[in-house]
Amino acid sequence: MKLTRLLARAQGGQADALGDLLEACRNYLRWEARRQIDPDYVPKGDASDMVQETFLDAYRDFAQFRGHSEEEFLAWLRHLLRNNVSNFFRRYRQTSKRNVRAEIPLDAAREPSGGNETVVRELLDGERDDLVRQATKSLSDDYQRILNMWTTEGLSFEEIARRSDCSPSNIRAKWFRAIQKLNDMLSDMK
């Protein structure tokens, strides 16, 4: 019932209603996306990435939606999601992209045993002592640029991706690899 009211408000032109409507569908779409994404491809893009792309499409194309019920709206969102997931898989299956099985899951960056929190905390807190600066300078220009945009400019992965003409999942993976390299270099320097 809530979705039906939000849908009517959004179709009536209320500015915040579409955002509220999509947010109310987020968990459902994430569940749908998880069912559709092959686990081997999660390092390249997960359910949240697919949902975000679907939200962007929904914002862009909402004026073309002609339904009036909750069921029609959810079916439309599922269609958008299915197209995004299909495009995502096509991009990696039909090109010579790296083997996704060789990727490291991003969840490893959140694990306390990985030791990455120390480096991230130092970067976030601005505690850039000589060792951190020295280690950072030895990273590739690409890694340095991503870390700079993330730590100094405070940009999200999505914003960095837009500036870099990459996907947010690609930026997350590069960020994680840069943090791993920094952590390894700092461990060797101590």
Higher pLDDT, 13 or 132: 13
pLDDT at residue 110, rounded to an integer: 44
Domains 2-93 and 104-189 in one fold = no
Indicate whether 134 pLDDT > 80: no
* Segment 26-36, tens digit of pLDDT: 888 888 888 87
Fold assignment, 2-93: Rna Polymerase Sigma Factor; Chain: A (1.10.1740)
Domain boundaries, the chain: 2-93, 104-189
DSSP the chain: -HHHHHHHHHHTT-TTHHHHHHHHHHHHHHHHHHHHS-GGGTTT--HHHHHHHHHHHHHHHGGG----SHHHHHHHHHHHHHHHHHHHHHHHHSS-PPPGGGSPPGGGGG-GGGSHHHHHHHHHHT---HHHHHHHHTS-HHHHHHHHHHHTS---HHHHHHHHTS-HHHHHHHHHHHHHHHHHHHHHH-
Q: Which CATH architecture has domain 104-189?
A: Orthogonal Bundle (1.10)
